[in-house]
Amino acid sequence: MRRNLIRIPGLGLMGLMLVLLLMQSCNRDPYMPNTTPPIIEIGSGDNTYGSNNDDQQLLASLKVMTFNIHTLSPPSKPGETDIAATAKVITDASPDVVFLQEVDKNSGRNGYTGDQAKDLAAITKMNFVFYSATSVGRGMYGVAILSKYPLRTIKKYMLTKESESTEQRVLGTAVIDLPGVDSLTLAATHLQHNSATNRLQQIKDITRLTGPVKGTVIIGGDLNEMESNAEFFNVFDAMFTRTCKGGNCPPTFSAQLPRSVIDYIAYKPSNAFSVQSHKVINEYYASDHLPVIAELNFTR
Number of domains in the chain: 1
Q: How many CA atoms lie within 13 A of 236 on its CB side?
A: 28
What are the pLDDT digits (tens) for 54-86?
999 999 999 999 999 999 999 999 999 999 999
Q: Looking at residue 22, what is its pLDDT?
A: 41
Q: Looking at residue 30, what is its pLDDT?
A: 33
Residue 59: count other Cβ atoms within 10 Å of its Cβ.
18
Q: Specify if 174 maps to a domain.
A: yes
Q: Specify if 30 maps to a domain.
A: no
Q: Specify if 240 maps to a domain.
A: yes
Q: What is the DSSP letter of 184?
A: E
Q: Which residues in the chain land under pLDDT 70?
A: 1-40
Q: Specify if 150 maps to a domain.
A: yes
Question: What DSSP line would sit under 208-275, residue for residue?
Answer: HHHTT--S-EEEEEE----TT-HHHHHHHHHH-EESS-STTSPP-B-SSS--B--EEEEEESTTSEEE
Q: Can you give the CATH number for the domain in which 243 is found?
A: 3.60.10.10
Q: Specify if 204 maps to a domain.
A: yes
Domain range for residue 94? 40-298
Q: Specify if 4 maps to a domain.
A: no
